Structure 1
């Protein structure tokens, strides 16, 4: 690991995290090792420390770091927004990722920014059990976001069928958070005449075409009238299609269902964090506090990766292949560039990191 890159990270990180020099050095090693080694396994990360210390000593140093250090998510969220110039209203995607370490479940509820180019973690909650998040956890996560950036910074909050419930929707409405949430066909709604119907019953006689239709209804336990947009999605070869049903408080329900396709970017983010990028599932840690710290390091590494992609591509677009898809993702473009720069052109890696890294942070 070039010492110049190492020193540049320490110089900027010490402005935002109250850590002593040895802890800052460990944090810098973690970030660079995550990029170069594409793994979060501490045994592999330990080989990236500069100096002549034994591998076992470096490994124990990493273990002590995760035992005692908790990095402030609010600081990292503001760094992400400032470094990627994402202060304008943007799409947020709320989703959950989980995997197993032995018989222990790792379960992370994540709020991410998704744009045409970027998909980056912003705030998250590590759930200490398997299964879906509850309403309280979702509300607490959104409150943290709103305290930092405010509802005006959200163009639309996108979420899948897991994130439904009268109390959750009421919270979003009271805080003026625009949303587009997919719902199941079995969702019960109340029409203007007060009768309760399942959406599946309302769609029973509707032709399965690609035409988009909308209707207004409210959830059974809430009086607020919401818009529902419905569209038939054809299945792939050999598979059946299904109804795409999106619930929104946006005045333009058709635009909301069109914007909902951006939610898929958070699934791509999870793939970037796992097998297509940093292999987060390689960790053997299971304690929620340690997973929280590891996710913070991941968010910083993802941000640096996208800064490199921006420096590499500028305003250009990634070429498309014959089948219409891009040659590679924006994330992969930045990751390939950053890995090469750290080894062969450290000044480029440093410039990508330092150009937009603020000297001090304030609530946006």
Structure 2
């Protein structure tokens, strides 16, 4: 997929957490041309093997997983009226259930999604764990862009110093 803002950059896939997904968003991503995605869904979301079939929550589908285990459901499943691949994992450190849906490359969905944690750490540091970016109240896109670039460099520098 190419991008109008960065035409020379190809997007491998989009990742999103539970707060940013839903039927409308999923439908948009599946419009031709499809946007490859790795979306985390709530464990209470309903999943069906066929359209109109018996729906069960993701939590029930993956309740047998032990910490550190994962399983991909066979074939595409119906979530929010759309066919997607569904992968579940019980996180080794917390035992929390993580359920992903994807439209392509289900074999790499978990490691692909895991890559977003570096971004999560950056956002956390920029917002509430250090830099307090939101307290600047900047509105000008140019100034905000420069500040974001500077804070990102500061974050990377401080992260490298911890290694």
Give TM-score, length-normalised by structure 2: 0.76
Matched, 1:201 2:27: no
Determine if contact 1:190/1:220 at 8 Å carries over to the other structure: no
In structure 2, distance between residues paired with 1:273 and 1:280:
5
Shift in Å, 1:168: 0.7
Look up the SS of the partner of 1:201 in the other structure: helix
The alignment's C-alpha RMSD in Å is: 3.2
Change in Cα spacing, 1:294 to 1:302, as seen in structure 2 (3 Å) is same
Alignment-derived partner of residue 254 in structure 1:
107
Alignment-derived partner of residue 115 in structure 1:
none
Shift in Å, 1:212: 2.2
Alignment-derived partner of residue 173 in structure 1:
30
Match of 2:158 among 329, 332, 336: 332
In structure 2, distance between residues paired with 1:231 and 1:254:
13
Determine if contact 2:69/2:91 at 8 Å carries over to the other structure: no
In structure 1, distance between residues paired with 2:68 and 2:159:
35
Matched, 1:297 2:146: yes
Shift in Å, 1:273: 2.2
Determine if contact 1:157/1:178 at 8 Å carries over to the other structure: yes
In structure 2, distance between residues paired with 1:295 and 1:332:
21
Look up the SS of the partner of 2:42 in the other structure: coil
**Structure with more helix by fraction:** 1
Larger Rg computed on CA atoms: 1
Q: Deviations over 1:57-94 (max 9, x none)?
A: xxxxxxxxxxxxxxxxxxxxxxxxxxxxxxxx9xxxxx
Moved over 6 A (4+): none
Alignment-derived partner of residue 232 in structure 1:
90
Work out which structure has the larger RCO, using CA pairs closer than 8 Å and 6 or more positions apart in sequence. Answer: 1
Alignment-derived partner of residue 107 in structure 1:
none
Alignment-derived partner of residue 217 in structure 1:
77
Determine if contact 1:229/1:247 at 8 Å carries over to the other structure: yes
What is the number of residues matched between the two proteins? 157
Shift in Å, 1:186: 0.2
Give TM-score, length-normalised by structure 1: 0.37
